[in-house]
């Protein structure tokens, strides 16, 4: 039996050897995808010196002596609004421009006095009273201060967020090269399984894994493909796997433990290779990884909680890697337990839990009450997984624990 780290190392290595061929998508479609090439700036940004304030563009030396009780009067020779450059037009030191935020700053001035530091001259409508001195450069956004022409601004492997889309638009991109969503085939197995629309007969249960995994694949940025359910019948399982092998990744659920009808492993033995089929993790010890024909394959456990936890630990990293995302790890934080957690296991335990806040706003961890691998309701309110190392505990309230954050 191998450790979680070893299993993760092996699945990541497998994914890295098979990156997907990039595709071009429009900016509007690029959110959440991963950039497949670096993006170089085609211009300086900002492209020209411009004002960060509404105010008056002046020569700093002309208002050096300005005080609230002794303002310096300046003649306003022109008004510059955004999008409307004005040629250099100052002829004397006691002149200035009215200027708006984002408007180009003429070269014959070197600072902008914000409007709050000025007053209208009651006697001269074309004159302004400057009440404070300014340093040269004040309130001027310099050309290229944000991005310089020719610089590599976005690295390949960057996950595309709204801010990244904004930068790409600034750099004149209408489309971006990104990694495509890997197509992930999902096969549920088991004689006892009926569809959610059906009323289970004696000994039957409804199919939960196919749908939970479908959503988990989509959430990880993959394109889920739901295959027809397979009963515990070797020939049918092989047929489903043969069909699934055309996609980038195959997920099955059930049929990988040591029960008599655990046929998924047999199918892999016959037509593929198994890298591992047991990991020292709880829940989810029977998790198989290998290749079916030449397609990477995960045999997830049948228990619904185990299926989702092994997905989180081993499959999600692969789906992220196939999309070129080097930052596949979830956020890990260390927080104190808010109550005792007394279960001790010789396996690495991933405990469904939620992050709570005490009266003073300090965060802490509250484990879900029943941690059974068949207790789907242990996910209710859970936003994180507490990682309890092998043979550790009991853990008392206040103990600092490592937590993998799944959602806010």
Instruction: Kindly list the residues in this chain that would bind ligand AMP in the complex (CB under 6 A).
Output: 188, 190, 192-193, 205, 207-210, 253-257, 259, 301-304
Q: Is 221 in the site for Mg ion (CB under 5 A)?
A: no
- Residue 47 site contact among Mg ion, ligand AMP, none (CB < 5 to 8 Å, cut-off depends on kind): none
Candidate segments 290-298, 302-310, 326-334, 367-375, binder of Mg ion by CB under 5 A: 302-310
Q: Is 22 in the site for Mg ion (CB under 5 A)?
A: no
Q: Which two tokens stand for residue 175?
A: 């489309």
Residue nearest ligand AMP by beta-carbon distance: 302
- Radius of gyration, alpha carbons of the chain: 31
Least distance CB 404 / ligand AMP (angstroms): 23
Instruction: For the chain, give the number of residues.
Output: 408
| Inter-residue contact 255 to 269 (CB < 8 Å) | no
Shortest separation between residue 345's beta carbon and ligand AMP, angstroms: 19
Q: Which does 11 bind (CB under 5 to 8 A by kind): ligand AMP, Mg ion, none?
A: none
Say whether residue 254 binds Mg ion (CB under 5 A).
yes
Binds 304, which of ligand AMP, Mg ion, none (CB < 5 to 8 A, cut-off by type)? Answer: ligand AMP
Q: Which long-range contacts (CB under 8 A, 24 or more apart) does 283-290 make?
A: 283/309, 283/350, 283/371, 283/373, 284/309, 284/310, 284/313, 284/350, 284/373, 285/1, 285/347, 286/256, 286/257, 286/258, 287/7, 287/256, 287/314, 288/256, 288/264, 289/7, 289/10, 289/11, 289/14, 289/314
Residue with Cβ nearer Mg ion (46 or 255): 255
Which partner from the list ligand AMP, Mg ion, none does 188 bind, CB cut-off 5 to 8 Å by kind? Answer: ligand AMP
Give the integer Cα–Cα distance in Å for 256 and 296. 16
Cα 8 to Cα 287: distance, rounded to the nearest angstrom = 12
Number of residues lying near Mg ion (CB under 5 A): 4
Strand partners, 335: 401
Contact call for residue 46 and Mg ion (CB under 5 A): no
Q: Does 304 bind Mg ion (CB under 5 A)?
A: no
Residue 77 and residue 175: Cα distance in Å, rounded?
A: 43
CB of 388 to ligand AMP, least distance (A): 23
Which residues here bind Mg ion, judged by CB under 5 A?
Answer: 190, 254-255, 302
């Amino acid at each position: 039996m191998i450790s979680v780290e070893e299993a993760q190392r092996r699945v990541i290595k497998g994914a890295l050897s098979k990156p997907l061929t990039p595709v071009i998508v429009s900016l509007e479609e690029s959110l959440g995808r991963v950039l497949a090439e670096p993006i170089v700036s085609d211009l300086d940004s900002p492209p020209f010196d411009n004002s960060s304030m509404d105010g008056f563009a002046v020569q700093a030396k002309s208002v050096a002596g300005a005080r609230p009780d002794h303002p310096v009067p300046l003649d306003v020779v022109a008004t510059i609004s955004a999008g409307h450059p004005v040629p250099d037009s100052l002829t004397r030191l006691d002149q200035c421009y009215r200027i708006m935020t984002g408007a180009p700053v003429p070269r014959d001035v070197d600072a902008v006095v914000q409007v709050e530091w000025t007053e209208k001259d009651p006697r001269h409508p074309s004159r302004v009273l400057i009440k404070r001195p300014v340093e040269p450069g004040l309130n001027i956004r310099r050309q290229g201060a944000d991005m310089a022409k020719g610089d590599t601004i976005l690295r390949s492997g960057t996950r595309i967020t709204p801010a990244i889309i904004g930068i790409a638009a600034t750099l004149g991109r209408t489309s971006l090269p990104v990694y495509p969503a890997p197509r992930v085939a999902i096969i549920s197995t088991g004689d006892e399984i009926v569809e959610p629309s059906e009323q289970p007969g004696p000994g039957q249960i409804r199919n939960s894994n196919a749908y939970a995994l479908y959503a988990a694949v989509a959430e990880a940025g993959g394109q889920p493909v739901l295959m027809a359910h397979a009963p515990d019948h070797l020939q049918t399982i092989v047929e489903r796997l043969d069909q699934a092998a055309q996609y980038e990744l195959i997920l099955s659920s059930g049929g990988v433990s040591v029960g008599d009808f655990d046929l998924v492993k047999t199918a892999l033995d016959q037509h593929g290779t198994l890298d591992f089929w047991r990991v020292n993790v709880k829940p989810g010890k029977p998790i198989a990884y290998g290749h079916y024909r030449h397609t990477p394959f995960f045999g997830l456990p049948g228990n619904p909680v185990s299926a989702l936890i092994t997905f989180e630990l081993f499959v999600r990293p692969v789906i992220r890697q196939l999309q070129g995302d080097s930052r596949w790890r979830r956020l890990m934080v260390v927080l104190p337990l808010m109550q005792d957690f007394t279960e001790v296991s010789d396996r690495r335990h991933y405990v469904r839990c939620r992050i709570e806040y005490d009266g003073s706003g300090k965060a802490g961890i509250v484990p879900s009450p029943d941690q059974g691998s068949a207790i789907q309701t242990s996910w209710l309110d859970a936003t994180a997984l507490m990682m309890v190392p092998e043979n550790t505990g009991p853990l008392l309230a206040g103990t600092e624990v490592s937590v993998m954050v799944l959602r806010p």
